[in-house]
Amino acid sequence: MSNFNKIIHERARLLIITHLASSEKPSVSFSDLQESLELTPGNLSVQLRKLKDAGYVKIKKAFKDNKPLTTVSMTPDGKQALEDYVEEMEKIIRQLKN
């Protein structure tokens, strides 16, 4: 498994990265991610930090209507890592079918 990506493979991070990849918006708010993926704020924060440290997501903090707003977007490296991960999983599935 040469391209196996342990960062993306963890369930919560895989949910986050696939959600971002499938989103029609270029970025998703922290609260939307939390609600859609049913993760606790603490768990989501930890997983986002790991994805950010790997260079797979960008996190932007701002204010909207005097309230803090955190948005998350996928980086080109994140998109490539997800594509590589999916390709590796498909190889494994094909091997199992043979």
CA pair distance 34, 60, nearest whole angstrom: 16
Each residue's pLDDT tens digit, 32-67: 999 999 999 999 999 999 999 999 999 999 998 988
**What pLDDT, on the 0 to 100 scale, is given for residue 3?**
56
Each residue's pLDDT tens digit, 84-97: 999 999 998 999 98
pTM to 2 decimals? 0.89
Q: Where are the domains of the chain?
A: 6-97
Q: What's domain 6-97's architecture?
A: Orthogonal Bundle (1.10)
Nearest to 58 by CA among 37, 38, 28: 28
